[in-house]
Chains A and B, each alone.
Chain A
């Protein structure tokens, strides 16, 4: 009913508009086969100036309202630098934006037909054109140079922390598998073949490799403040993108092609909460939790490349802690081997058979022919 009513209202509105417009056009009779544009130019001139003012007022309002709500400052070393570059570029383009928009709308108003008798024949001016080619070139050269410098320093392998923490993250629909190398600091080997990859061992970990015995999967991504972390990224099924908005980290996870990203977190979760508690918007109460926003702040991991219908649900909490807290956390973890493989080995008889496959989870429409046979 409401849908029908709104439809009727819209049709009515359109009819009225057309009728008004028609009446308006009748007043716009041709004079000697020509139209007179003076009146409408005058009105539109004022409207354009009005729009210009409204645009700047609206922009200012948007800045005031929305800036505090934005994702807070970067919590990584390179993130602070790219934020600086972002802000600096913003200021430059902001200036260009104001100058060009003012010129555009002011000229449209100032030189409309109701205010000008004759146009000024002015087809070109080489000096002017050279000037406004060279100035953007210089500015852009600066931006390119700074951007490249920053870009290379992000991907420069030589500057990395020698004791970097290496974490392996694998995306799949619709989850993240976060693997730590355990106390030995070394990952067990992964073999992507049918002998190793199975519904109970999706990552294809080679359990015969002793380095794998202390590796563990974590629900949360734990990072250490001030310690470089190298994310080894991959994907099982489709392209995902490993995205840590607070750390300005994003890198695609591509099936069959490994990628990586190195960064250094600079603030623990607690540090960030403390910082946010000083900002007015973060002090307001979140109606959903009933607490000030800063208290429930957490770093998060998201997927940034469309990966299917639950793309928007690939959330994992990221926790940044000090080295001591990290060590304590690490000691509490049970390795994947101890949790799943060892118990199975002690009951050797049962272990001979493949573990029962949960049919609800592994429903697969791919014809069996496409599943590769065991190598050799």
Chain B
């Protein structure tokens, strides 16, 4: 298990290293000179050159890469020129909005999808199965941002139950903040829940056909107990895989959803930074997102081993 974990972490670190090189190179070929963007079109060549020197832009590419990547390891993500603040501060400020949003969405999606998937599998071919899977099929086809627009129209414009957008911050208490995140997290969660429910159902069906399930039923174990104790545990592997993948989708989904609701989170930060060519911010946020996707994938692998003792023994 330890060896397996070490190997996964090593692969993850290499992936992260290569990803950082790719992100850095992409930003290198992007048109636009940060010094000129900061000083404007009327800057004198001397002033531009002085600023480039000060920002370290005149150094060779490899040297700049090392100082950028090395800086990130010590928590120094550089300085944004549009916000005139350290990137790490911007990220920290936005993460307190985006991380709760993604977590609420993930919890919501899991809490809906897994019971629905089990329910459908247990009633395979009956009305309950058809209705829930039909709904899931539609849910998969709904673009989350369109769903968000509909939610805004119904719950914010029409019923006036929640704000239509914006975020008041956490300083005014937890409730106003949470209230602003309700619609965005539902919009993020439902399409994901639809996918997860379908996966849960098919994983359960696969397991329910196994001999040990028949044995458990034959020895007189109640149906419900068989479902929750024997079947669910064995069906968890594909479900966990999709959960891990969904985390990446959720992170990317926040870019669109935060834009729909005008929520000042990481997604909106990176989107605005791209349009303003504030590359150092883009690089920082992307690396953070990639790192978290890699980390989640490692956690999923660990979770496999936890639910399946066979995998534990093999490694």
Do A and B belong to a common assembly? Answer: no
